[in-house]
């Protein structure tokens, strides 16, 4: 597997562990609908957090969260409409980004709640 794929998987693993420590229950990982892949679907109380994980080996070309574009947002919103309908959920949906940056052998993580409100 390519090194960048390994880095992405590590970032998603760290994001799952972080969310679980914060009291979230992981409902799904890498859930697909049409052309959209939702990295993590987590729930805490009545909030369903749709989490896009972006992992980078450095910030030379920008912060990881800068790589979530309007097309990706549209795909995620469409996918979550289907997920909520298919699972007959009555929850508040929030779209988050977890940005992971590898710095040497360490990783830093930033959780941006309601991230799409900033676009």
Alpha-carbon 107 to chain mean position: 16
Domain 3-118 has CATH 3.40.1350.10: yes
pLDDT tens column, 32-69: 999 999 999 999 999 999 999 998 887 777 777 777 88
Average per-residue pLDDT for the chain: 89
pLDDT for 2: 56
Q: Tell me the whole-structure pTM to 2 decimals.
A: 0.89
pLDDT tens column, 102-117: 888 899 999 999 988 7
**Using CA atoms, how far apart are residues 8 and 90, in angstroms rounded to an integer?**
31
**Using CA atoms, how far apart are residues 49 and 73, in angstroms rounded to an integer?**
14
Nearest to 76 by CA among 95, 48, 49: 95
Query: Measured between alpha carbons, how far is residue 35 from residues 31, 66, 77, 79 in Å?
Result: 11, 21, 12, 9
Domain ranges in the chain? 3-118
């Amino acid at each position: 597997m390519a090194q960048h794929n390994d880095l992405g998987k590590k970032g998603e693993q760290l994001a799952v562990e972080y969310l679980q420590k914060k009291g979230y229950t992981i409902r799904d990982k890498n859930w697909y609908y049409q052309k959209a892949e939702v990295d993590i679907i987590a729930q805490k109380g009545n909030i369903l957090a749709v989490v896009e994980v972006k992992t980078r080996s450095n910030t030379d070309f920008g912060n990881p969260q800068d790589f979530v574009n309007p097309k990706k947002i549209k795909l995620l919103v469409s996918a979550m409409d289907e997920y909520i309908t298919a699972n007959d959920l009555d929850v508040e949906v929030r779209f988050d980004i977890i940005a992971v940056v590898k710095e040497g052998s360490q990783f830093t993580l930033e959780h941006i709640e309601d991230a799409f409100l900033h676009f």
